[in-house]
Chains A and B, each alone.
Chain A
Amino acid sequence: MTLTESRPGHPRSRQPAIIAHQVTRAFGDRPVLDGLDLSVDADEFVALLGRSGTGKSTLLRILGGLDPEYGGDVLVPAKRSVVFQESRLIPWQRVLPNVVLGLEPGPGGRSALARQGLDALEEVGLGDQARAWPVTLSGGEAQRVALARALVREPQLMLLDEPFGALDALTRARMHHLLQDLCARHRPAVLLVTHDVDEALLLADRAVVLVDGRISLDVAIDLERPRWRGDPGFVALRDRLMVELGVEEPRGPGGRSRGGVEGSAEP
C-alpha cells in the first residue's frame, strides 16, 4: 500500500497522500461508509467533519490500517501515524520508550534512537519528562507525548482522531498552536477528524463534511494565518459548515449576514 515515489518535475504538493476510491464499510446491516471518495495531497491539512456516528473514525481506522474489512480501494503512504482521542500511552513503559515504541534501532543503535525520541519530546516541550510514568502526566501532556510518538516516525501522513476532544478549552488552544508549529516544520499530510468546526477552521487548509457515508461538502479554507474567529471569512465558512452539519445557529438581533463584518468572535 505504498504510493508511487515522486517523479522529478512534479511539484511536491501535487503528490497524493491519500487516495480513497468508493470506500464502503458496513457494521452488520448498517452501512457507515457508502461509496466515499477522498483524496488528500502531500503536505495538505484536511479536516474531516461530521456529526457523531457518521463514520469519521471508521474512515480514519481504515486509513490507519486498523480495519481490513472495507470495500473499495485505498492508498496511503507506508509511513503514517495516528494520534487517538485518548493518548493510548502504554502505562507500564516510561515516556521515552512510549515515544519510540515499535521503532527498530537504526545504524546508530539504541542511543541514537533514544536521542531521536528525546528530540521529539523536546519539540513538544516535554524533554524533562522522558523518564516519567504516563500515569503522572496531565491530559494535555499525555497528548503531547502522543504527538511526539507520532512525529518521531517522520510520517508522510498523520491521522488525528479528535486528538484534543478530551482536553479543556485552554489546553486545547495551546495544543492548536503546537500542532500548527509542528506541521509547519515537518509538513506531513494531515487528516484531522473533529466535530469542532472552529478547530477545523483554525487549523486546516480544507474541510470536508461526511454525511450519510459520503463526502457531502469539500471546501477550501483560504483564510490568512494566523486565523481569527471573528474574521468575516471565518464566520461565513463556519455558518456554511454548520448548516451542512445540520445545525442552525441562532441569529443575533437583526440577523447576521453571511460574510458580514459584525461577526462575533465566539460561536
Chain B
Amino acid sequence: MATTEILRPPPPAPASVIEVGTGRDLVRPTQDRPSRRSRRVPRQVRRLVGPLLVLGLWQLVCSLGVFSSVEVASPLAVVDAGRQLWATGELQTNLLISLQRVAEGLVVGVAAGVVLAVISGLFHRGEDLVDPIIQAARSVPILGLVPLAIIWFGVGETPKVFLIALGCTFPVYINTFAAIRGVDSKLVEAGQTFGLRRWGLVRRVILPGALPGFLVGLRFALVSSWLIVVVAEVINAKSGIGYLINEAQSWNRTDIIMLGLAIYAVLGLVADAIVRLLERRLLTWRRGFTGS
C-alpha cells in the first residue's frame, strides 16, 4: 500500500467512492482548483470595489488638505453641489436639455447611418456613390465643424443636433455596411434556393445578419454623441450640462465642474448598459436561449 497523502477536496465534492490510498500518487482532477462555493460575492458587487476604492482615496486626499478646494473638489463636495443644484431645479432642466439633444441627434444620425449603409451594402452602384463621400467626410474632425455649424444654423438647437447626428452617422454607417457585406454568402445562397426573392433575402437574411454589426456601431455612436454634446455645449450654449460646467469655471466652482463630468460618466454607463440589454434581447439566437 502506498502511503501517499491524498487530500479530499473541501466539502461535498463529487462522491468520494474510491478509497484514498488505492492508487499511487493519484489526485482527483479538480483537487487543486479553488472551490466555487467560496466565491460568494456576486460579480456586479466585485466590479464596484475598484471604483469605490478610488472614491475613498480621493475623499481621503481631499480631507487631508493636499489640494485646495478650487483645484480638486472632494466627492462629498460634489454630492453637495448636486444637492444644491437639484434644489434650485437647475440640474434637472439642464440635464433634460442635454439628454434631449443627444436623443434627437442619435435618432437622426443612426437613421441616416443605417439608410446609407443599406444603400451601400446592397447595391454596388450605391456603394460607388455613397462610400467615397462618407469616407472623406468621416476624416474631417467633427469638432472642427463647430464654427461652420454656427454660421449655418445659428446658435439654437439645430447646430448641436446637427453635429451629434453627424458624429453618430459615421460609426453606424461603417459597422452596418461592413456587417451587411459580411453576411455569410452561403446563407444568402440557401435563401435563394428556397425561393426568397430580393426583398425577402434583405428582410429575412441580410438585415438580421447585419444586426450584430449595427449594434457595435450604435455603441460607438453613443460614445461620440456624448463627446460632441459636451463640446457643443461648452462652446456655444445657454443651457445643458456643458453650459453648467462652463459657467462654473467662471466662478471657480470646481465642485460643479466635477459634478457635470460625473453626470456625463454615469450617462455614458447607462447608455452602454441599454445597448447591452438590447444586444441580449435581439441576439438571443447566438447563445441559443429558447426563452421560457
Contact = CB atoms under 8 A, between A and B. Distances in A.
Contact of B192 (A66, A84, A90, A91): A66
A184 B133 CA distance: 59
A149 B288 contact: no
Contacts of B208: 90, 92-93
Contact of A102 (B186, B196, B289): B196
B46 interface: no
A262 B169 CA distance: 74
A90 B193 contact: no
B191 A102 contact: yes
B182 interface: no
Of B195, B200, B285, most A-chain CB atoms within 10 Å: B285
Interface stretch (A51-59, A108-116, A129-137): A129-137
Given A90-B187, A90-B205, A92-B209, A82 B193 contact: yes
Interface string B257-292: 000000000000000000000000000111111100
A90 B191 contact: yes
A153 interface: yes
B195 A103 contact: yes
Interface string B195-216: 1100010001100110100000
B193 A135 contact: no
Interface residues of A, number: 24
Interface residues of B, number: 23
A90 B289 contact: no
Given A133-B288, A135-B285, A84 B205 contact: no
A81 interface: yes
A121 to B, nearest CB: 15
A239 interface: no
B190 interface: yes
Given A101-B204, A131-B290, A66 B193 contact: yes
Contact of B286 (A81, A94, A135, A153): A135
B157 interface: no
B189 interface: yes
B290 A133 contact: yes
A8 to B, nearest CB: 30
A65 interface: yes
Interface in A125-179: 131-136, 149, 153
Given A65-B193, A153-B194, A132 B187 contact: no
Interface in A72-127: 81-82, 84, 86, 88, 90-94, 101-103
The 5 closest A-B pairs by CB, nearest first: A102-B195, A88-B190, A136-B288, A102-B194, A135-B288
Interface of A: 64-66, 81-82, 84, 86, 88, 90-94, 101-103, 131-136, 149, 153
5 contacts: A88-B187, A88-B189, A90-B204, A90-B205, A90-B208
